[in-house]
Structure 1
Amino acid sequence: MSRPARASVDDESATDPATTGPAASRPTRRGPLAALNPLAKLAAPLPAMIVVVFSRDLVLPLAFIAFALVVLLAGARLSAGLVTALVVGTPVAALVLGVSFGIWVDPSSVAGPEASVVLFGVGDWSFTLAAYLVGLATALRVLAVLMLSLIAGLTSTGTEFVRAAVQNLRVPYRVGYTALAALRFVPRFGHELEIIRAAHRVRGTVAGRGPIAAVRRAFGTAVPLLASAIRHAERVALAMDARAFGAHRTRTERHLMPWRARDTVFVAAFVAASALIVWVTRAF
């Protein structure tokens, strides 16, 4: 008799309770990045993030933003709306954040010909091109770190990260799966909050407009939401105790998250590409 096959990473979403429901019945598109170990997608951009944080020019973070965008578009099956948000929203955010950060730049700390170019002013205060370039450099660093982190964030779930950390990093499963249970509280609380608000509307306890009424409604939902959280935490604790959770040093895993050769190749290729980007930008 043949042994039943273990659930793999690719078919994990079909059996994971966190992904069951109406949304799970629809087929999902999984790109090449989704098949990698979540820790590989977390470790590969880390050297690039460190380099970007300590950079002070405009070209290096801009190059890493473009590189991260290419990796996401090629390796992840993103929706058209998300692709549009990344392609259009990133330059808009860079321009807006550049102004926001540049306003806080001390005019006396910037020099050069750009310091004499005034973009706009209010009274005696003027916003120069030099201050904007300093703010833009900071904005690009922030966006570069964010774009690099999206490589792991958009192609992996919190459940996969916890399982990979427990299996590959030897994080104690008592800590990992307790954190996973707490993570799953968040969508449940959102559902409970909608139920409480609907009950208040039916009972006519949401009358009034303005900030005072909003604060009153918030306090009105806090107590039942806290009571629901305590009841749910008690049920989870009883279930974990009934299943002897934490009674043994090791735990048999149902969904395996192994570190494969392709994960090593991805990390090595990403680090090599990052080093090439640094070398090319420094050359110019």
Structure 2
Amino acid sequence: MSIQSRNAVVERPTMRQAEQFGLPYLHRMHPLAKLLPTTLALVALFFVHDLYTPLLVGGITLLLLMTGAQVTRRLWLALLVGLPVVTVVLAVTIGFWVEPARVADTPLLFTIGAYEFRFGAFVSGMITSARLAAIVVLAMLSGLTIAGTDLIRASVQQLRIPYRLGYAGLAAFGFVPRFQRELQTIRRAQRARGIATGTGIGARLRRQLTTLVPLMAAALRHADRVALAMDARGFGYRSWRTERHPVPLRRRDWWFGTGLLGVYVSAFVAGALLG
């Protein structure tokens, strides 16, 4: 069983697992070296109004995913075929809402009855849809290559977030598979007792509703155990803590993060000049 399949419920492969199993380079980089440049680029995209910048940023990010991320064939198909198709369709849809007088002097693409769809309307819609596509790809770069546990540990170790908060969040990651097992147990018990049986929409809704109370009770029990365990281990009694799983920020991570930020800045500058 692959690392991704074993960790699909909880998180992506950690840096240690990526090094051990020889995963592509993006998985081996420090999470903050990937997250900070992509987050800055994502926020900056909301303030650009040209077509070239999101195309450049999205293309660079897609190239990074192609060369440095472990991606399934289905996701590759979605990125290389589905995303461009959706972007163009969304651009045409948005273009229908552009005021015709604004684009009256641009070439005519097609007509629908008395309505004339012009190139300027398509470009206007493409600016918005390309920006959305670039935001999606940027979010995927972080989401596909950063393990949640690594990000929390890096935030505690490098960003100096209080470790009591960080490791409470780390414990929450362990709740997800536990809750799934608990939900399966509850549903099996309900089927054995003949509770909320049936195949219709009403039966499915009843099954969902009847699992809420026992699942909430299980969540409270698990939260109480985690709180007692954290208190027993002295969480919060000192301002520092020895790390069992350090996430080191190495020289190659600095170079990668700085270079990625420089590439994105260059893309924004080039887009502004071309636009």
Give the aligned partner of residue 41 of structure 1: 34
Q: CA deviation at 1:145?
A: 1.7
Match of 2:103 among 106, 111, 124: 111
Q: Helix, strand or coil for the counterpart of 1:206?
A: coil
Give the aligned partner of residue 53 of structure 1: 46
Are the equivalent residues in 1 in contact too, given 2:12–2:145 (CA < 8 A)? Answer: no
Q: How many residues align?
A: 262
AA in 2 matched with 1:233 = A
Are the equivalent residues in 2 in contact too, given 1:206–1:217 (CA < 8 A)? Answer: yes
CA distance 1:44–1:189, shift in 2 (3 Å)? same
Give the aligned partner of residue 160 of structure 1: 150
Are the equivalent residues in 2 in contact too, given 1:44–1:266 (CA < 8 A)? Answer: no
Give the aligned partner of residue 221 of structure 2: 231
CA distance 1:248–1:195, shift in 2 (3 Å)? same
Are the equivalent residues in 1 in contact too, given 2:153–2:166 (CA < 8 A)? Answer: yes
AA in 1 matched with 2:139 = S
Give the aligned partner of residue 83 of structure 1: 76
Q: Helix, strand or coil for the counterpart of 2:127?
A: helix
Alpha-carbon separation, structure 2, partners of 1:120 and 1:198: 56
Pair 1:191 & 2:177 matched: no
TM-score (normalizing by structure 1): 0.79
Q: Deviations over 1:183-224 (max 9, x none)?
A: 332232223222222222233223334333332222111111
Give the aligned partner of residue 267 of structure 1: 257
CA distance 1:215–1:152, shift in 2 (3 Å)? same
Give the aligned partner of residue 206 of structure 1: 196
Match of 1:246 among 229, 236, 239: 236
Alpha-carbon separation, structure 1, partners of 2:11 and 2:131: 34
Q: Helix, strand or coil for the counterpart of 1:113?
A: coil
Alpha-carbon separation, structure 1, partners of 2:21 and 2:61: 23
AA in 2 matched with 1:48 = A
CA distance 1:242–1:58, shift in 2 (3 Å)? same
Q: Deviations over 1:211-267 (max 9, x none)?
A: 333322221111111111111112212222222222221111011112222122112
Match of 2:63 among 47, 59, 70: 70
Give the aligned partner of residue 124 of structure 2: 134
Are the equivalent residues in 1 in contact too, given 2:51–2:271 (CA < 8 A)? Answer: no
Are the equivalent residues in 2 in contact too, given 1:99–1:136 (CA < 8 A)? Answer: yes
Are the equivalent residues in 1 in contact too, given 2:103–2:118 (CA < 8 A)? Answer: no
Q: Helix, strand or coil for the counterpart of 2:103?
A: coil
CA distance 1:206–1:125, shift in 2 (3 Å)? farther
Give the aligned partner of residue 6 of structure 1: none
Are the equivalent residues in 2 in contact too, given 1:39–1:161 (CA < 8 A)? Answer: yes
Are the equivalent residues in 2 in contact too, given 1:119–1:129 (CA < 8 A)? Answer: no
Alpha-carbon separation, structure 2, partners of 1:57 and 1:48: 15
Q: Helix, strand or coil for the counterpart of 1:201?
A: helix
CA distance 1:117–1:185, shift in 2 (3 Å)? same
Give the aligned partner of residue 220 of structure 1: 210
Q: CA deviation at 1:130?
A: 4.3
Runs of 5+ in structure 2 lacking a partner? 1-5
Identity %: 39
TM-score (normalizing by structure 2): 0.81
Q: CA deviation at 1:282?
A: 3.7
Q: Helix, strand or coil for the counterpart of 2:181?
A: helix
Are the equivalent residues in 1 in contact too, given 2:111–2:117 (CA < 8 A)? Answer: yes
Q: How does 1:19-34 map to 2 (within 5 A)?
A: 28-34=21-27
Q: Deviations over 1:93-131 (max 9, x none)?
A: 31343345445x35367434359655547xx88866544
Q: CA deviation at 1:43?
A: 1.3
Q: Deviations over 1:153-188 (max 9, x none)?
A: 211111000000000000000111112222332232
